């Protein structure tokens, strides 16, 4: 167990939440996701930074330039020249600004008087312009979580970046559908001191955002970045945490990583380890290699090169996060340069590389038993640049933990993405006039928080808190309140929440269900046209045919009722057959039922129901 107080853990969270507006932030295109297959046009660009503007040693930006990749963009009939960076942006979307103001008020923030849109330089291609438009709206707020006050530093309104479709190393494919969707970026102060608290704060912020009813929901519409530091460690920014449930794990693993890197530092210093500042061409060592990766690289005109880490033996292969070694960090760097990864002597011979090759390799670079050698294969320039960076990284092992931007992996570990960007890459967006925050703009209503609504449901309708929260947090809470006045609230909650969850488990596509479907089911119950047990059947029908009419639904219901009766009768009549043949009685019985219901009820439904009845009978008999 880590004593987080003792290691001096400080965590700040940055939430990016897409807003559910009609139009994008700087053009009149709709904020809809598209299937890449629907793209009707594509084009490609390069991005570059001027040397004169990298004056302040902005490593993050410089590294991207060095990679000089080609970016392909997929356009749609729902995107325009603004997304393609072929037309100046329109004025700031006021609908989005209003939502941002509302959220800032819910976070007890103070507002600027005049909003200035900035260009934040981002040259990984995710913005066609090479920058992300962003504006600081409000600052200095707070939320209370479990009695602890967490400060909110800033709220910015920004445009969403492109969706990455494919990364082929030197070519990256992006989809323009997402570019320009408004989002709010909310950053807390580093007031969070435990992994659990980080998770709670993120959940609370998410709840507040959803309470507005004006944010997008679903996969990818909200992302968390986490800033983590420990004493003697470094500030690390972890990007793109999509699953809140592993947020605590991510924090924990990062602390472990930093503690391990510090241990490695101490050990390397003790060993008097050093990194040789030279790149060796070792292509000839692998002339007849059985390693497919290396052979392929050489065959396509590439080179194999190596670097020498003196007295690093055993350390490159040391685990620093579950399943990740120091060598994995080096491999991450190689990947950002478009290479497949690296090999290092702590793990060799392996992967088709023979013992003899390892010996020759060590001899060639002059490595002894206590040294480690890292090799990379591929395009000459890429290999050279990647190893140059890995040398720098290896040298930093003797200093401590480098400041980095990292990417969250699904298991809670993180991978290297790029150096932490400097703060100075912001230009005024001269194409968008500043916007005054007026009294009228600030005069917005504060919506009821989902958690308050849940409490109200517990009190008023007698639901359990968990169920009440689920309903309060769903898009159908208004429907719930409407019908909870007419029929038992537990039944309404069952129709809206429990039945769909059960149907999903059974394999029904409940994503097609819309408010009108639930309304139909609830109305049938409220009007006394259907018993409450019928709701499940109704929703099943809608899952299979979202456009079914009420009459059609009722017909299926009555037939299903008849069918149930008929099956019960048959099972009773043929009980001897079932006793004798067990589940094999299904086939003859199915024939009997289908004789009656063919063309009236779906055969699959009949089979399902019959099988269930037979099984129940068997269980009863035994």
Partner 1 sequence: MDIVGKRVRVKAKGRIFEGIVMPSFTDCLVLKLDNGYNVGFKDYEILEVVEEKTISFPTPKLERREGLPSVKIISTGGTIASKVDYRTGAVTSQFTAEEIAGDVPELLDICNVDAMLLYNILSENMKPQNWIELAREVYSSIKKGYDGIIITHGTDTMHYTASALAFMLSTPVPVVLVGAQRSSDRPSSDAAMNLFCAAKTAISDLGEVVVVMHATTSDDYCYIHRGVKVRKCHTSRRDAFKSINFPPLGKVDYPSGEIAWFVEERFRRNERELELRDRLYDKVVLIKFFPGLKPDVLEYYYDKGYRGFVLEGTGLGHVATDWIDTIRRISEDSLVVMTSQCLWGRICDRVYDTGRYLLKAGVIEGEDMLPEVALVKVMWLLGNYDLEEAKKLVKVNLVGEITPTTKYE
- Positions touching partner 1 (CB under 8 A) are 43-53, 55, 81, 84-88, 110-116, 118-121, 123, 128-131, 134-136, 139-140, 154, 156, 423-428, 430, 434, 436
> 74, 78, 69: which is closest to 46 by C-alpha?
69
Which of these segments, 26-34, 198-206, 519-527, 565-573, binds Zn ion (CB under 5 A)?
Answer: 26-34
Contact status: 333 vs Zn ion (CB under 5 A) = no
Give the shortest CB-101-to-Zn ion separation in angstroms.
24
Give the shortest CB-281-to-partner 1 separation in angstroms.
25
Report yes or no: 7 and 230 within 8 Å, Cβ to Cβ: yes
Contact status: 29 vs Zn ion (CB under 5 A) = yes
Instruction: Provide the 8-state DSSP code for 51.
Output: G
Contact status: 162 vs Zn ion (CB under 5 A) = no
Interatomic CA distance for residues 254 and 283, integer angstroms = 37
Nearer to partner 1, 154 or 413 (CB): 154
Give the shortest CB-225-to-partner 1 separation in angstroms.
15
At 552, list the tokens: 């059609």
Interatomic CA distance for residues 469 and 447, integer angstroms = 16
Angle (nearest 5°) at CA 213 between 210 and 216: 70
Three state DSSP letters for 205-273:
HHHHHHHCCCECCCCCCEEEEEEEECCCCCCEEEEEECCHHHHHHHHHHHHHHHHHHHHHHHHHHHHCC
Nearer to partner 1, 141 or 206 (CB): 141
Give the shortest CB-222-to-Zn ion separation in angstroms.
23
Interatomic CA distance for residues 289 and 295, integer angstroms = 6
Which of these segments, 29-37, 122-130, 405-413, 418-426, binds Zn ion (CB under 5 A)?
Answer: 29-37
Contact status: 27 vs Zn ion (CB under 5 A) = yes
Nearer to partner 1, 52 or 288 (CB): 52
Interaction with Zn ion in 71-130: which residues (CB under 5 A)? 80, 82-83
**Partner interacting with residue 140 (select from Zn ion, partner 1, none; CB below 5-8 Å by kind):** partner 1
The answer to whether the bond into 349 is cis (omega within 30° of 0) is yes
Q: Is 124 exposed, middle or buried (0-12, 13-18, 19+ CB in 10 A)?
A: buried
Which of these segments, 19-27, 96-104, 140-148, 329-337, binds Zn ion (CB under 5 A)?
Answer: 19-27
Instruction: Provide the 8-state DSSP code for 140.
Output: E
Give the shortest CB-79-to-Zn ion separation in angstroms.
5
**Partner interacting with residue 62 (select from Zn ion, partner 1, none; CB below 5-8 Å by kind):** none
Nearer to partner 1, 138 or 484 (CB): 138
> 52, 61, 133: which is closest to 420 by C-alpha?
61
Nearer to Zn ion, 181 or 304 (CB): 181
**Partner interacting with residue 134 (select from partner 1, Zn ion, none; CB below 5-8 Å by kind):** partner 1
Q: Write the CB contacts of 13 (distance below 8 Å, at least 6 apart in sequence).
A: 187, 188, 192, 198, 201, 202, 205, 224, 225, 226, 227
Interatomic CA distance for residues 143 and 292, integer angstroms = 55
Nearer to partner 1, 120 or 523 (CB): 120
**Partner interacting with residue 27 (select from partner 1, Zn ion, none; CB below 5-8 Å by kind):** Zn ion
Interaction with Zn ion in 523-552: which residues (CB under 5 A)? none
Give the shortest CB-8-to-partner 1 separation in angstroms.
23
Half-sphere exposure of 76 (CA within 13 A, CB side): 20
- Binding residues for Zn ion, per CB under 5 A? 27, 29, 80, 82-83
């Amino acid at each position: 167990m880590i004593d987080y107080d003792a290691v001096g853990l400080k965590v700040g969270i940055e939430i990016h939440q897409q807003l559910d507006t009609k139009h994008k932030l700087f053009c009149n295109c709709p904020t809809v996701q598209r299937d890449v297959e629907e793209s009707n046009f594509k084009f490609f660009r390069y991005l570059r930074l001027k040397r004169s503007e990298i004056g302040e040693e902005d490593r993050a930006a410089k590294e991207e330039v060095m990679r000089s990749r080609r970016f392909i963009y997929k356009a749609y009939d729902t995107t325009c020249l603004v997304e393609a960076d072929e037309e100046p942006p329109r004025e700031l979307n006021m609908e989005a600004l209003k939502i941002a103001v509302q959220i800032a008020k819910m976070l007890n923030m103070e507002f600027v008087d005049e909003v200035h849109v900035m260009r934040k330089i981002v040259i990984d291609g995710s913005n066609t312009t090479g920058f992300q438009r962003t504006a600081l709206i409000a600052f200095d707020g707070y939320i209370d979580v479990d009695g602890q006050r967490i400060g909110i530093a800033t709220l910015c309104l920004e445009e969403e970046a492109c969706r990455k479709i494919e990364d082929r190393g030197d070519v990256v494919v992006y989809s323009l559908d997402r570019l320009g969707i408004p989002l709010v970026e909310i950053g807390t102060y580093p007031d969070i001191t435990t992994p659990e608290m980080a998770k709670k704060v993120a959940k609370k912020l998410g709840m507040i955002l959803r309470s507005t009813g004006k944010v997008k929901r679903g996969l990818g519409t909200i992302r968390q970045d986490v800033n983590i530091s420990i004493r003697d460690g470094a500030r690390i920014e972890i990007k793109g945490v999509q699953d809140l449930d592993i947020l605590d794990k991510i924090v924990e693993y990062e602390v472990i990583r930093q503690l391990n890197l510090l241990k490695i530092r101490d050990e390397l210093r003790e060993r008097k380890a050093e990194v040789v500042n030279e790149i060796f061409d070792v292509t000839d060592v692998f002339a007849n290699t059985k390693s497919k990766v290396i052979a392929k690289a050489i065959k396509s005109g590439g080179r194999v090169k190596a670097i020498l880490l003196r007295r690093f033996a055993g350390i490159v292969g040391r685990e620093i996060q579950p399943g990740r070694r120091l060598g994995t960090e080096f491999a991450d760097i190689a990947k950002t340069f478009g290479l497949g990864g690296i090999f290092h002597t702590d793990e060799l011979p392996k992967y088709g590389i023979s013992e003899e090759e390892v010996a020759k390799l060590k001899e060639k670079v002059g490595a002894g038993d206590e040294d480690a050698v890292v090799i990379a294969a591929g395009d000459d320039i890429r290999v050279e640049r990647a190893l140059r960076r890995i040398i720098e990284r290896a040298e930093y092992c003797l200093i401590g933990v480098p400041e980095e931007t990292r990417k969250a992996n699904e298991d809670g570990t993180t991978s290297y993405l790029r150096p932490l960007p400097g703060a100075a890459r912001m230009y005024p967006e001269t194409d968008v006039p500043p916007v005054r925050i007026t009294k009228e703009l600030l005069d917005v209503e504060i919506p009821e928080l989902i958690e308050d609504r849940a409490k109200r449901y517990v009190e008023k309708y007698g639901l359990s808190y968990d169920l009440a929260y689920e309903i309060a947090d769903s898009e159908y809470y208004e429907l719930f309140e409407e019908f909870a006045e007419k029929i038992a609230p537990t039944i309404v909650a069952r129709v809206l929440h429990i039945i769909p969850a059960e149907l999903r488990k059974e394999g029904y596509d409940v994503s097609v269900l819309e408010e009108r479907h639930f309304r139909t089911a609830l109305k049938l119950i409220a009007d006394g046209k259907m018993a409450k047990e019928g709701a499940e059947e109704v929703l099943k029908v809608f899952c299979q045919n979202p456009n079914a009419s009420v009459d059609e639904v009722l017909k299926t219901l009555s037939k299903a009722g008849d069918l149930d009766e008929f099956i019960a009768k048959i099972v009773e009549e043929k009980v001897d057959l079932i006793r004798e043949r067990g589940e094999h009685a299904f086939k003859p019985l199915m024939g009997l039922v289908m004789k009656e219901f063919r063309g009236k009820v779906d055969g699959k439904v009949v089979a399902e129901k019959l099988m269930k009845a037979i099984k129940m009978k068997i269980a009863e008999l035994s």
